[in-house]
Chains A and B, each alone.
Chain A
């Protein structure tokens, strides 16, 4: 287990370098000029040159790469070109709100999705299965902003159960929960659609295994077979896939934050885009990379906890 952990940790560090490198080069190799992006089409050549100089874009590519990497590692991600405050500070200010939203949604997604997926698999090709499959297919067909708007129309505008705008900075716990409810439901239900489907197909595969037949042959009760023998095996692919869906979760959180006007990384990145805050964008890429790598590490660990074959090797 320790060896496994150390190995995954080392992998994560390598991955971190890899992604930072890829992100850096995607941005630099693409034909767009950051200076032009910042200043707009009407800018004079002199202004563009000055901006390029200020951003260090006239240095050799490799120097820029080293500077980017070095800065990223020591937490010096530059100063926002709009607010003038350090990028790290701006990001850390809104990060908790995004983490709060995604973690609550993920829990909601798992709590709803896993039982539904198991139920659907057990009742394969029966009415509950059909209903769950259609519903989950609808769930993952909904772009997050569409479902967010529909929820907003329904519960905030028509029924007025929840606030239209959520501050995410409410004073009391109840306030925070009210603010969090709709965005978390939006994100959580979409996540549960994905989890339901993975849990269903994983469960179907497990139900077909020889050891399930063995369990039946021992005379075990159906529920014991499902929840004790099958679920843990089925969770192995579910955990992997949830790790892979992290990207979708993050993308959806951006859209959700915009619709509900909730502070977080999503609003920050869109703001940076609109105001052409180049350093902020670069910082955002680093933080997203960090999140992705960290969550992948976490998935691996959970995986190791579930699958005994990993603990031993």
Chain B
């Protein structure tokens, strides 16, 4: 066999902190052959992105130190003078990043940014570079390329911007493509398209691909070999089938166990905890639970929420965002209803509308049999206390200047539920309920990890003894293992207290784990709603099918990546003022299983 394209030997990367050096990658070695895809997997802080930036030598020079050997086709990169390194960057190694929205320069046209790369490395004149850029735009399937090439990035969607990034990285037919979490910020159907595109280009050009991700599902779909990183160390390495079938390192085992496999729950009706693998011996996969659902607690009927887009000279309403358009559902005590959908489908707006954080345009929201719209101010206040919300960003949802004790105690005091020392006792009780302790009362949020912060948020929302909790992407920002723990906590609380959850998420695998019932949203409407096992195992609506098909399966033997997926975007929910939405008509396709009647049904 020929020499590997990339050979990393004993790579150690350190960052300066004051006078000392902290190593963030230690003694890490791996190789990538031509035509091969190696996935570097790890949770946040594992050093996987730093490894990529070290290969490109893009780390700030004064603050970082690279030791070890990095060679590209036999040429040592660590000692290369900067001007020659610049020829390597973009010439021999192409790179795409996680954030397509911010990775393109907003004041230059996309075409120019591509042409610039071509002229830098391929010695073309402007006309030739432009022609080549057009070809690349076609290659990555940007529709209407001849026109779009002269437009600025802000007119492109996230998926399209990532395509432009790929075109740019591919411009000089690099030997190595480094993709640093290229699909993390994208919706799952767009992710499938981008993964397909990368695979297709790889086959065509025979390049080596270093694919960095935290998502085991994506790994299973795309990688030939896997490198697992933990806190700066490479802990396991091997062919993808072997790592998935026979993980040798404990950490890999935990990582794989924490990954929900869509379809794992089969036809059972209730949610199921993740097994706890931190104990020895590890907990076995828990069995199905009893159905403890009670009477109806929330009923949403014909909810409509729209936002005005103002414009023109006098700030008149020009267009409307039809964020939520005539949706109805109910939730019972002790039940989890999940709202799934891709960004902009209106799932978060639905949650916020129920809590009156957004003003609905129409529809009724009945909570414990009372219509929120008919309630006066003090009744509304009392009702709202019994509905709470937990958000996605564990860093943004706690006031950085309040101690944990003050944050949890504040609602108790404000509503006069307890006073004096009793407040503190209650705060401690709540903290212990979510798995934290008395010692945490006087600490500030920044002293906690993401998972702990999410526990604090849960404790705070429980302070008012709610019956319904809206969990708006509450576990999306967490690493897989932490995610599993927080989900378990939520399920435990549900069992003990009979809580109802409206679980809003874009992640269908996690949704399967937590829900009794599932509603799929598309462009402001529910297109399919029903028992979880029915909707996920026997989807009826086209969109539900497409969504489920796009979810990466964390099992390399079931690889489904399809190349040649055409660029397809979700329909816009921005409409002219005179647009008259048709009412949502749901057809029953099974017991308690409804599908929206539209073009596809």
Contact = CB atoms under 8 A, between A and B. Distances in A.
B154 interface: yes
Nearest to A229: B105
Contacts of B154: 308-309, 312
A221 B86 contact: yes
B479 interface: no
B91 interface: yes
Interface string A215-256: 111111100000011001100100000000000000000000
A1 interface: no
B428 interface: no
B28 interface: no
Contacts of B90: 217-220
Contact of B102 (A210, A309, A313): A210
Contact of A309 (B106, B109, B311, B312): B106
A219 B152 contact: no
A233 B312 contact: no
A216 B107 contact: no
Interface string B94-111: 110101001111111100
B86 A233 contact: no
Interface stretch (B114-122, B201-209, B432-440): B114-122
Contacts of A233: 105-107
Contacts of A218: 89-90, 116-117, 120, 168
A10 B316 CA distance: 14
Interface string A249-282: 0000000000000000000000000000000000
Given A211-B106, A307-B107, A217 B155 contact: no
Nearest to B105: A211
Contacts, number: 82
A219 B107 contact: no
A119 to B, nearest CB: 17
Contacts of B56: 216-217
B104 A214 contact: yes
A219 B89 contact: yes
A3 interface: yes
A85 interface: no
B58 interface: yes
Determine the interface band of chain B, counting residues with CB < 8 A from chain A: 20 to 34
Contact of A219 (B86, B104, B312, B314): B86
B87 interface: yes
Contacts of B256: none
Contact of A312 (B117, B152, B314): B152
Nearest to B118: A218
A7 interface: yes
A232 B108 CA distance: 9
A185 interface: no
Contact of B104 (A211, A307, A309): A211
Given A219-B89, A233-B106, A213 B58 contact: yes
B107 A3 contact: no
Nearest to B169: A217
Interface in B107-138: 107-109, 116-117, 120-121
Contact of A6 (B91, B117, B152, B313): B313
A211 B155 CA distance: 16
Nearest to A216: B58
Contact of B108 (A209, A213, A229): A229
A214 B107 contact: no
Given A219-B86, A229-B108, A210 B313 contact: no
Nearest to A126: B62
B258 interface: no
B109 to A, nearest CB: 8
A217 B89 CA distance: 5
A308 B312 contact: no
Interface in B139-190: 152, 154-155, 165, 168-169
Interface in A189-210: 209-210
A151 B90 CA distance: 52
Given A219-B86, A312-B152, A214 B103 contact: yes
Contact of B107 (A7, A221, A306, A313): A306
A42 B168 CA distance: 80
B579 to A, nearest CB: 21
Nearest to B86: A219
13 contacts: A3-B312, A6-B313, A211-B102, A211-B105, A214-B103, A219-B89, A219-B90, A221-B86, A228-B108, A232-B108, A233-B105, A233-B106, A307-B106
Given A219-B86, A308-B106, 7 more contacts: A7-B313, A211-B104, A217-B97, A218-B116, A220-B117, A220-B120, A312-B152
Interface of B: 56, 58, 86-91, 94-95, 97, 99, 102-109, 116-117, 120-121, 152, 154-155, 165, 168-169, 311-314
Closest 9 CB pairs of A and B: A219-B90, A219-B89, A218-B90, A210-B102, A308-B152, A211-B105, A217-B95, A219-B86, A210-B103
